[in-house]
Structure 1
Amino acid sequence: MTSAPAPTPRPAAPATRRVARLAADAAYARLARPLLWRLDAETAHHGTVVAADLLGRVPVTRALTSLAGYAVGPAVEPDPVEVLGLRFPHRVGLAAGMDKDGRGLASWGALGFGHVELGTVTARPQPGNPRPRLVRLPRSRAVINRMGFNNQGVHALADRLRAAREAGLVRIPVGVSIGKSKVTPVEDAVGDYLESVAALEGLADYLAVNVSSPNTPGLRSLQDAGPLAELLGAVVTAAGATPVLVKLAPDLTDHALDEALEVAVGAGVSGVIATNTTLSREGVHRVDALTAQSEAGGLSGAPLTMRAREVVAHVASRTDLPVIGVGGVMSGEDARALLDAGASLVQLYTGLVYAGPGLVGAAVEATARR
């Protein structure tokens, strides 16, 4: 299924757009972020998704959302690109984790993203790990999460995605990240993933097989050659014409990455997503070090920037499969660096917490220089 690019107004003069983005960035830094940061991290996250949901419900608020996205958009008009057999309006997307249940489907394209990856979603609804489970590390420009795939289940997401498509609200490619339900034993993981594949038939533009989250017990063991070959082979077969990608962890050694890539290519996947969050605490600012060491979960944000580039470069040098680069995109130049390392598309999420929505336009502008 190929989604049409979101229609957007032609950009104003570059200088005008850059001034608008600077003003928006200042407003976020001085007004919005201080208000959001008075809330705990998960409440702020939930509020953002609820706002995206509400703004996308009616034409008037969708139009206002588009105007906001235009104000912080790129100062150049990006060219559409074709990756995975899909047409993307540009190279910058919203990473999995932000909108697990597809609530903001009508808003993400209007805010300037060229694609969105929903999820990670599981076959069974699950509450995730106990709160608190999302922690900011401000001096490090990072976040630790141990959410544990909290979501309403794949069938609820499928219903929401189907309704959005039927209403004509989906204007950018939509990928869905699928993971293993916590209640499902690792030895039964294949059947669990296949239930999600079946539920999403004809609805997702691509599927991302998440075997690299550190927050579901036993999940990362599925990156080992034997289990990974069985899982990916089954998912690729069941998905039919829908592209299947595998999402790998930044904590894998080069040898383990090579082994996983060999298995992925042999299974017939269409691409690789590099990377997920990391268990490492390297690069964390000394002010945040005690918190970082005491909080379990995956680390994202600026400390992951260089490792994500390294993994993307390694993966791209070992395979001709398209790579989606994600991890530590805190500026437009970080997004550009992932393309220079070999990525075909980039995704961001944690950077929005620190830089605000203007990061999307900056990243689109930087990655348009190809």
Structure 2
Amino acid sequence: MIYPLLRKFFFALDAETAHGIGMAGIDFVNAAGVSCLLARSVPPDPVQVMGIEFPNPVGLAAGLDKNGEHIDALAAQGFGFIEVGTVTPRPQPGNPKPRLFRIPERQAIVNRMGFNNDGVEKLLANVATAKFARWGGVLGINIGKNFDTPIEKAADDYLLCLDRVYQTASYVAVNISSPNTKNLRELQQDEALDALLGSLKEAQGRLSDRHGKYVPLALKIAPDLADEQIQAIADLLRKHRVDGVIATNTTVSRVGVEGLPNAEQAGGLSGAPLLAMSTAVVGKLATALAGEVPIIGVGGIINGADAAAKIAAGASLVQFYSGFIYRGPELVAEAAAAIARQRAA
């Protein structure tokens, strides 16, 4: 495969610079009609989740394509669904650079991007030019709050984004778990989450009537949760009939990367060291939810066995981002094949 050679080039560059060049490269091979040089074909393996038929259970996690600029090129890598964002109501630059760091010794990444994006209107304009959604592709849009919106007003930002993306999205992911926006994770606390989910579900009902279609809502949670917090979140997901839960975001823990270069950088840790923690959260959620709310498992997937482990723990779908950076497009087909074997076992 070509990607291991390309990775050596990319890893010689600053991580954020490499990301920009890599996305431009994926766009180029897609436009040239030679995406097969990077990706293997993924056999259909449809699965029904949140009332949506996904052509296969392997998705791209939010964060790689924050502004929806590369949807068609990424879809050509074989993903069963693409999640773009996190998008906020207004454009914002994010945190100062450098803010993206590799830990290659552990196939890990630390980021403190801070929801850098061009705002919801620009994302919608980009999505409108993509063929993916028009051709029936499953497109998730991940929404968040602006960094300067007070936490007590956060619901206003989520409701504005939900209103704007509702007609375009296949599902909407509500990101309350990034460690890189001050106080954001406070929204996972019982009273705050109860109020936020109530407001979002009420708005979802109004929007469903207005647009004549039901767009599912999925809540994205952190891995750094005590068992009682996981149970409380599960109870609220059931109470408000939330359509799905994405487990998990990045971690503030540094277990597994201690003493390595970049390990002490501030931000969220993703990649292989997150696997055990995030999969444990999936398992605890699956027990607490008892099948009432489907789970999208994300965090630490570097190979097919990791993806299958998420399904075994109780996830219906999986996503990855850091694994795509370290393994390249071949991971999509590998993960899909491993999940198919897991389900057949």
- Normalised-by-shorter TM-score class: over 0.9
CA contact (8 A) 1:93 1:115 kept: yes
2:2 is the alignment partner of 1:50: no
Structure 1 counterpart of 2:40, which letter?
V
CA deviation after TM superposition for structure 1 residue 168, in Å: 6.6
Which secondary structure does the structure 2 equivalent of 1:308 belong to? Answer: helix
2:78 is the alignment partner of 1:112: yes
Residues of 1 paired with 2:37 and 2:143: CA distance? 31
Matches within 5 A, 1:249-288: 249-284=222-257, 286=259, 288=260
Matches within 5 A, 1:166-181: 170-181=135-146
CA deviation after TM superposition for structure 1 residue 260, in Å: 1.4
CA deviation after TM superposition for structure 1 residue 183, in Å: 1.5
> Could you list the runs of 5+ residues in structure 2 that have no partner in the other structure?
209-213
**How many residues end up aligned between the 2 structures?**
332
The CA RMSD over aligned residues, in Å, is 1.6
CA contact (8 A) 2:102 2:262 kept: no
Matches within 5 A, 1:340-355: 340-355=312-327
CA deviation after TM superposition for structure 1 residue 201, in Å: 2.2
2:304 is the alignment partner of 1:332: yes
2:262 is the alignment partner of 1:291: yes
Write the deviation string for residues 250-301 of structure 1: whole angstroms up to 9, x where unpaired. Answer: 0011101111121222122101000000000011164x1x5312x1000000
Write the deviation string for residues 94-149 of structure 1: whole angstroms up to 9, x where unpaired. Answer: 00110000011111221110001101111111000000000000111100000000
2:333 is the alignment partner of 1:361: yes
CA contact (8 A) 1:52 1:103 kept: no
CA deviation after TM superposition for structure 1 residue 244, in Å: 0.3
> Could you list the runs of 5+ residues in structure 1 that have no partner in the other structure?
1-23
Q: Which residue of 1 aligns with 2:153?
A: 188
Structure 2 counterpart of 1:68, which letter?
L
CA contact (8 A) 2:110 2:262 kept: no
Matches within 5 A, 1:215-254: 215-239=180-204, 240=208, 241-254=214-227
From 57, 61, 68, give the equivalent of 2:37.
Answer: 68
CA contact (8 A) 2:166 2:172 kept: no
CA deviation after TM superposition for structure 1 residue 236, in Å: 2.0
2:110 is the alignment partner of 1:144: yes
Q: Which residue of 2 aligns with 1:202?
A: 167
2:281 is the alignment partner of 1:311: yes
Which secondary structure does the structure 2 equivalent of 1:346 belong to? Answer: strand
Structure 1 109/174 Cα, relative in aligned 2: closer, same or farther at 3 Å? same
Residues of 2 paired with 1:248 and 1:365: CA distance? 27
CA contact (8 A) 1:78 1:368 kept: no
Structure 2 counterpart of 1:366, which letter?
A
Structure 1 227/33 Cα, relative in aligned 2: closer, same or farther at 3 Å? same
Which secondary structure does the structure 2 equivalent of 1:212 belong to? Answer: coil
Tell me the TM-score normalized by structure 2.
0.92
CA contact (8 A) 1:212 1:249 kept: yes
Write the deviation string for residues 23-67 of structure 1: whole angstroms up to 9, x where unpaired. Answer: x1xx322x20111111101111122223334455x5xx2x322x3
Structure 1 242/182 Cα, relative in aligned 2: closer, same or farther at 3 Å? same
Residues of 1 paired with 2:89 and 2:194: CA distance? 20
Tell me the TM-score normalized by structure 1.
0.86
CA deviation after TM superposition for structure 1 residue 212, in Å: 0.4
CA contact (8 A) 1:332 1:366 kept: yes
Identity of aligned residues (%): 46
Which secondary structure does the structure 2 equivalent of 1:368 belong to? Answer: helix
Residues of 1 paired with 2:227 and 2:102: CA distance? 29
Structure 1 28/49 Cα, relative in aligned 2: closer, same or farther at 3 Å? closer
Write the deviation string for residues 311-348 of structure 1: whole angstroms up to 9, x where unpaired. Answer: 00000111121000000000011000000000000001
CA contact (8 A) 1:73 1:358 kept: no
Q: Which residue of 1 aligns with 2:13?
A: 39
CA contact (8 A) 2:60 2:81 kept: yes
CA contact (8 A) 2:103 2:109 kept: yes
